[in-house]
Amino acid sequence: MKLQVRMDRSLKEEAEEVFAEMGLDTTTAVRIFFTKVAKTRSIPFRLKAEPEFTPEQEASILKAWEESKDPANLSKPYTDVAEMFRDIHRQIAEEEAGTAPTTP
**pLDDT, tens only, 40-78:** 999 877 767 777 788 899 899 999 989 888 888 878 888
d(CA 96, CA 98): 5
pLDDT tier at 100, thresholds 50, 70, 90: low
Residue range 82-88: mean pLDDT, rounded: 92
Determine the Cα angle at 24 with ends 22 and 26, to 5°: 125
Arithmetic mean of pLDDT over the chain: 88
| pTM (global) more than 0.85 | no
Domain residue ranges in the chain? 1-50, 55-97
Query: What is the CB-side half-sphere exposure of residue 11 using CA atoms within 13 A?
Result: 4
| Other CB atoms within 10 A of residue 15 CB | 14
**Looking at the predicted structure, is the pLDDT value of residue 104 above 60?**
no
d(CA 104, CA 97): 17
**Looking at the predicted structure, is the pLDDT value of residue 2 above 70?**
yes
Our CA dihedral for 62, 68, 72, 73, rounded to 10 degrees, sits at 80
Answer whether 58's CB lies under 8 Å from 51's CB.
yes
